[in-house]
A = this chain, B = another copy of it.
């Protein structure tokens, strides 16, 4: 059996959707999965089960594989440096991943690059927080995601839970924003960069809920600025693969960087059905240093809505209900057991009329969530 071209660390839905593109490109993937039946392990035959924080496990998985990429940003950077020193290309590399793993380093580096960020400061005491002022958004610098590790505080008393987390904290101004945007780019080791249309991301409960591509009524100058910013960050930080730059569009019309993600991102899932080259295909092309494909949209409007665990337990059985109601919405189920609020899939609609596209995608998602 030929040696895999690419190792993917982490067996979630991102690795699962990478495999669909890998199949077309003829890329053999070796997967490190968290369990024998996690999302991507269901579709990648060459998988091992193990702990991605264990160096020996990582070494065994990538032993004969030249390039390593990731389903998530949680692999310890010191392990990645070891793998690099042993001849494996990690894409993105630990020097770039640091800025997706540590919000303090990210803010410092983006500040040095002149990238617009919310006012921010490291916080190690109640005194620091008092000096920063209220209201403030407190974040753990590491490990937070989907609203976890984030607190909006209006007094030192509000910060009790944050301080008790016992990890380094960052304070950021509470931004008065009109909406959230996301600028995705793919970048290869050769330096080729391609930017996707800037999208609007709508959150509910701290979790990405809906994405509209392109962001409706976005000032073309702001769209260009967002794309340029994402290209600059990808280039300056030497990101390889997909970089997602999550942005605030402030009520006074500025852009501020909220978060960075260095992997295919929820705000890019629309591209599977809505762009000429999906973010998953371009991620693979980027990390394998193949020429990138067009990031242009194929339809005037695409809308992705996440399927979160709700009262519908049997997603398979529910497919016939959803497809009967919306035969042309594209379904993506992740093979995960339904738990309240867990991302278990997404749906995408596309077409010429935004209201219609939005209504169709929402209806399909609602039928998967609460029937």
Which A residues contact B (CB, under 8 angstroms)?
A: 1, 5, 16-17, 19-20, 23-28, 36-37, 41-45, 47, 276-277, 285, 289-294, 298, 315-316, 319-320, 323-324, 327-328, 330-335, 345
Query: Nearest 5 CB-CB pairs, A to B?
Result: A26-B333, A291-B323, A45-B45, A291-B324, A20-B20
Q: Which residues of B contact A41 (CB under 8 A)?
A: 45
Within 8 Å by CB of A16, from B23, B44, B289, B292, lies B23
A-B pairs with beta carbons under 8 Å apart, 18 shown: A16-B23, A23-B43, A24-B333, A25-B319, A25-B333, A26-B331, A26-B334, A26-B335, A27-B316, A28-B335, A43-B43, A43-B44, A291-B323, A291-B324, A292-B327, A293-B327, A294-B327, A298-B298
Q: Which residues of B contact A335 (CB under 8 A)?
A: 26, 28
A323 (CB) vs chain B CBs: closest residue: B291
Nearest Cβ in chain B — how far from A334, in angstroms? Answer: 7
A326 (CB) vs chain B CBs: closest residue: B291
Whether A290 and B276, one on each chain, are in contact in the complex, defined by CB atoms closer than 8 angstroms, is no
Chain B CB within 10 A, most for which of A26, A36, A298, A333: A26
A1 to B33, alpha carbons, bound, how many Å? 15
A5 (CB) vs chain B CBs: closest residue: B316
Whether B45 and A331, one on each chain, are in contact in the complex, defined by CB atoms closer than 8 angstroms, is no
A37 to B25, alpha carbons, bound, how many Å? 17
A47 to B20, alpha carbons, bound, how many Å? 17
Q: Which residues of B contact A328 (CB under 8 A)?
A: 276-277, 293-294
A321 (CB) vs chain B CBs: closest residue: B291
Whether B19 and A323, one on each chain, are in contact in the complex, defined by CB atoms closer than 8 angstroms, is no
Nearest Cβ in chain B — how far from A327, in angstroms? Answer: 5
A320 to B320, alpha carbons, bound, how many Å? 41
> A24-B330, A26-B345 are contacts. A19–B43 as well, Cβ < 8 Å?
yes
A325 (CB) vs chain B CBs: closest residue: B291
A236 to B49, alpha carbons, bound, how many Å? 49
Whether B45 and A28, one on each chain, are in contact in the complex, defined by CB atoms closer than 8 angstroms, is no
A293 to B1, alpha carbons, bound, how many Å? 37
Whether A19 and B26, one on each chain, are in contact in the complex, defined by CB atoms closer than 8 angstroms, is no
A44 to B47, alpha carbons, bound, how many Å? 12
A323 to B292, alpha carbons, bound, how many Å? 8
